[in-house]
Amino acid sequence: PDPVEETRDPRRSSLPVGVWIALAAVFSVLRKGYQFDGYYSDDAVQAPLILHRIHPELLANDPLIGLIVGRYQSGLFDLVALLAPVIEIHVAYFVLFLIARVLACVAVYRLAVTLSGSSLAGVLSTFLVAGSAISYFGGINFVETILTPRGLALPLGLFGLNAFLRRRPGAMALWLGACLYVHPVSGINFLGAIAFCGVFFPASAPRKAFYAVLAALALEILLIAVWTGQIGGDAHALR
């Protein structure tokens, strides 16, 4: 049986895996906290941009909006813009923050189970990561206190990596496509990680999937190079 699909195993736990993941997500939010800061954090740049996207006449002459429109792109802004007319923008941010945190816990669990073959290892890994201050390349915390494009893209990329290791190229393509849509740089990172696995651990990857990843990585790097050339290499565009 697929250990990822198991929900109950009396030898491991009396609780379903879904309950453990939910507890890990709650623990993570309580342990790390959440903030919506319109003055000093990324929210100060993102929120006005989203409001302008919903109501183009709003902030039309604002110097900040004029600077970043077309330079600071993420699928996250589309998601917030869909929710904000229904609920307040700060509520939309919090809802998506919770969704991103749950997805991160699920992604860590599934990847840990794939690598270890143990549901117990998956649960322990989820709690360890959910409450930690682990940083990845660039010094960015794996678990952040604000909603960012990279924070939502991270679990999507982990799902793609897990699908790659489990030899599911179709699912891998969908997850990595979503990751690229939300945060292009995170998408490049995961494509690079998968390419690394294919080069140094060829037995872990179907050859066709590996070649597809290499092609996607090359195409994405080309697109980003063209994109950054058009906007003058603004740092915020790739944040």
SS3 94: helix
SS3 9: strand
SS3 13: strand
Question: Residue 9 forms beta bridges with which residues?
Answer: 13
Q: Is 239 exposed, middle or buried (CB count within 10 Å of its CB: 0-12, 13-18, 19+)?
A: middle
Report pLDDT for 102.
92
CA distances to 47, 111, 182 from 126, rounded to whole Å, are 30, 10, 23
Report pLDDT for 107.
93
Report pLDDT for 238.
44
135-136 vs 140-141, strand pairing mode? antiparallel
| Both structure tokens of 56 | 């183009």
DSSP-H helix ranges across the chain: 17-32, 43-54, 63-68, 75-83, 89-116, 119-130, 149-165, 169-182, 184-200, 207-231
Q: Residue ranges of the domains in the chain?
A: 17-238
Query: Residues in the chain with pLDDT < 50?
Result: 1-11, 230-239
Whole-model pTM? 0.73
179 contacts 156 by C-beta, under 8 angstroms: yes
- Phi, psi angle pair for 140, to nearest 5°: -85, 135
- How many Å apart are CA 69 and CA 85, to the nearest integer? 20
CA distances to 78, 139, 235 from 42, rounded to whole Å, are 16, 16, 13
Q: How many C-beta neighbours within 10 Å does residue 88 have?
A: 10
Average pLDDT along the chain: 74
- How many Å apart are CA 149 and CA 74, to the nearest integer? 6
| Both structure tokens of 137 | 């390349």
